[in-house]
Structure 1
Amino acid sequence: MMDRKKWIKESMRMIRRDLWSIRYVILVLGIYFFLAWNIFYSSCPFVMITGFPCPGCGLSRAGFSILRGEFLQAWYLHPFIYGIGLLTAVFVIRRYILHKETGSLKKWLIFLLAGMFVFYIYRMIRYFPGEPPMSYYPGNLLSRIAQAFQVLNR
């Protein structure tokens, strides 16, 4: 067992190394979200293109609801936020605190994503179109293209 200082130093080294290895992803995502919110007023590419909610619609709002202590609101927006939070916590604990492998968590991630997809189908059948996040967004790219073609065909 390593002493506390070595353990903290190793954990911080791992975090820095992991962040450095995905630096371009972080940069591209930062630019994408900045442009998406300032131009399209949405961060979801599926919504921006089709106007339909995606399987993850409501996750960001649910996460912010949790941060504000609005746990029931988070559940209402997207109950899988709790599974994502739990899986993230397990990953962080295993990787940065226990210094153990995290590859075994992939099966749980796949299970979580499959559950989200099944839940999405349920929400589309039961609630679409309804209140956000299960709403249709009319300013999407496909509807704008269809409108442009209608204008051209007149």
Structure 2
Amino acid sequence: MDEFMLPCLTKSFLGFDCPGCGGQRSLWLLVQGNFSEAFFMYPPIYPLVILGGLVVINKFLPLKKYSFFVSVLAAISVASIIINYIYKLTY
């Protein structure tokens, strides 16, 4: 499956990771059932998967407080991406 993953253009051209580096590999690990490895590969994977699942569920079963849940999960996702990126840059 690794040969079908998209390469990171930022890493290819500039030589350093982008904020999303590790997301594809982490999602693949999650699909395979390696939950802890997926987290260590890319910690923001869990809020992003929950956010994606919420969007899909809302398409079929509209939720009352959908906008509130999406706002909270989006804020958590962005914060976790930024924290993870800063951590990767400093270590």
State the TM-score bracket (shorter-chain normalisation): 0.7 to 0.9
- Aligned counterpart for 1:108 among listed residues 63, 67, 73: 73
Shift of 1:46: 1.4
- Aligned counterpart for 1:89 among listed residues 53, 57, 62: 53
- Aligned counterpart for 1:47 among listed residues 1, 4, 11: 11
Normalising by structure 1, report the TM-score: 0.48
After TM superposition, list the pairs within 5 Å mapping 1:10-49 onto structure 2. 42-49=6-13
Task: Please say if residues 94 and 100 of structure 1, whose CA atoms lie closer than 8 Å, have aligned partners that are also in contact.
Answer: no
Task: Please say if residues 43 and 84 of structure 2, whose CA atoms lie closer than 8 Å, have aligned partners that are also in contact.
Answer: no
Distance 1:43 1:106, change over 3 A: farther
Paired residue total: 88
% of aligned pairs identical? 26
Is there any run of 5+ residues in structure 2 with no aligned partner, and where? none
1:119 counterpart residue number? 84
Give 3-state SS (helix, strand or coil) of 1:117's partner. Answer: helix
Q: Which amino acid aligns with 1:69?
A: G
Runs of 4+ displaced beyond 4 Å: 99-104
Larger radius of gyration: 1
Q: Which amino acid aligns with 2:43?
A: P
Normalising by structure 2, report the TM-score: 0.76
1:66 aligns with 2:58: no
Give 3-state SS (helix, strand or coil) of 2:7's partner. Answer: coil
